[in-house]
Structure 1
Amino acid sequence: MIINPDAAKSEYTFLSLGDSYTIGERVSETDRWSVQLAGLLRKDNVDVGNPDIIARTGWTTAELQEAIKASGNQKTYNLVSLLIGVNNQYRGQSQDQYRTEFRELLQTATKFAAGKTNRVFVLSIPDWGVSPFAAGGDKARVSREIDQFNAIAQDECQKAGIVYVDITPLSRSAAGDDSQFASDGLHYSGKQMKQWAEKALPVAKELLKK
């Protein structure tokens, strides 16, 4: 867990939950999408600190939930984000399992938001099938499965009254542009994650008004 020691100096606090896309595999701390989002909010005169982050490359929904419990974090936050599921898809885990575990994570995220679903938002799973890493693989299958997992996430968000932000089309637009990928050719660069932050910005601003 990454703690922002200066968070208490800001009016609003922010927690970002996820996997490699949240921790920003192969990018600098300042390039992480949620850190970029906090910066954009501050530019719009919203006094929010950089996020606390519970995320690690490779985590599935179950592993994220376990890590949250292990962290012992009892804080509550004004804003909570969740981006999880690509490793469930990558490892071939069942969509039914994902639905159950994703629903539980929405409940966990809501607890971190002091029980307020209107302070939680979810980002869709990016499509790693367009990455250089996936060259020669079955890109159509990856894309189809990502869509299926995202449909589950969107459905569960709708049931829970949680805002869902669809960044998957942005990730697909990175195809063929190496500058939008990190050095490993699999994860996304700060340039691509900036677009996620910009897509989430109006949502975050609206949620912090509630």
Structure 2
Amino acid sequence: MYIKTLIILCALTSISCGFPNNSTSSQKTNYKYLALGDSYTIGKSVCNHCNYPKQLANRLNATLSKKTSVKIIAKTGWTTTDLLTAIASEKPSIDYDLVTLLIGVNNQYQDKLFSLYEEEFPELLDKAIEFANGKPENVIVLSIPDYAFTPFGQKSGKAEKITSELIKYNAFAQKISLEKGVLFENITLITQNGLKNPKLVASDGLHPSEVAYKKFVEQIFEKATKILR
């Protein structure tokens, strides 16, 4: 009888009675998404909201009941080493609901030793998992686009070399992703249509266009939705 009276009193007043609060205030009000990468993530030569992380967040916001906020740690020209340095500087929190990782093209472009990628990509993936609440199933790795199928790549005279080296990079990223229980999405095939469909290439003749990024999102959207739900 005393307890029932106390509960009623607490409900009618502003007295804090020490009972556990099971209200939605303890629940997240939105989803947090972290995108890690380089120019392919930040969206070089496309509008601010045209890169694939922003397009993905916008589509998720139109579909899910909770809003998705996106943080991007990426910059044009970044190698795996640069991304590791930026992460150490920015110190992202470890409560992200979704993390994507797309990195490696500048290792190849700058003729870095492949052994560097073999060392640093697994380290980056471990960090991505850490940022995703330690859940590998909440991380998506995207394959490296093939810039051999762009005007820039064709003019370089190294198109075959670019493709063969990126195959090696992507095969390694896929292998490590599978070993760690992380989803690997091959979006390279989309970019290999760049010569047949110029709309897939941005105005700089090198990077993916808004149209290409939309296709990236179409490929990973259902998986991202499943992760957040």
After TM superposition, is the score higher than 0.5?
yes
Assess, with a 3 A threshold, how the Cα gap between structure 1 residues 22 and 46 changes in structure 2: closer, same or farther.
farther
Deviations 1:59-107 (A, max 9, x none): 0011101001111333521000000000011111222220210000011
Match of 1:27 among 46, 50, 70: 46
Q: Which residue of 2 aligns with 1:95?
A: 114
Where structure 2 has 5 or more consecutive residues not aligned to the other structure, the ranges are: 1-27
Structure-1-length-normalised TM-score: 0.91
Tell me how far 1:26 sits from its aligned partner: 1.1
> Could you tell me which of 11, 14, 17 is aligned with 2:36?
17
Q: How many residues align?
A: 202
Query: How many angstroms does 1:44 deviate by?
Result: 2.3
Please, which of 125, 131, 148 is the counterpart of residue 106 of structure 1? 125
Look up the equivalent residue of 1:184 and give its one-letter code: D
Counterparts of 2:170 and 2:65 in 1: how far apart (Å)? 30
**Residues of 2 paired with 1:197 and 1:75: CA distance?**
24
Question: 1:119 aligned to 126, 135, 138, which one?
Answer: 138
Q: CA deviation at 1:50?
A: 3.6
Q: Deviations over 1:2-42 (max 9, x none)?
A: xxxxxxx8521100000000000011111010111112222
Q: Does residue 188 in structure 1 map to residue 214 in structure 2?
A: no
Task: State how far apart, in whole Å, the 2-side matches of 1:46 and 1:94 are.
Answer: 45
The answer on whether the counterparts of 1:130 and 1:175 sit within 8 Å (CA) in structure 2 is yes
Q: Which has the higher contact order (CA 8 A, sep 6+)?
A: 1
Find the aligned partners of 1:94 and 1:100 in 2 and give their Cα distance.
Answer: 10
- Distance in 1 separating the partners of 2:39 and 2:100: 14
**Runs (5+) with no aligned partner, structure 1:** 1-8
Are the counterparts in 2 of residues 113 and 120 from structure 1 also a CA contact under 8 Å? yes
Match of 2:165 among 116, 128, 145: 145
1:168 aligns with 2:188: yes
Please, which of 195, 211, 217 is the counterpart of residue 197 of structure 1? Answer: 217
Q: Stretches of 4+ moved more than 4 A in 1?
A: none
**Are 1:45 and 2:64 an aligned pair?**
yes
- Deviation readout 1:100-135 (Å, 9 max, x if unpaired): 100000111111111111111100000001111112
Superposed CA RMSD in Å reads 1.6
1:50/1:151 Cα in 2 relative to 1: closer, same or farther (>3 Å)?
same
Q: Which has the larger radius of gyration?
A: 2
Q: Is the 8 A contact 1:79 1:204 kept in 2?
A: yes
Aligned residues of 1:14 and 1:48 also touching (Cα < 8 A) = no
Alpha-carbon contact 1:14-1:50 (below 8 Å) kept: yes
Cα distance in 2 between the residues matched to 1:75 and 1:184: 36
The one-letter amino acid of 1:194's match is: K
Partner AA of 2:150 in structure 1: S
Contact 2:200 2:212 in 1 (8 A): yes
The aligned amino acid for 1:162 is V
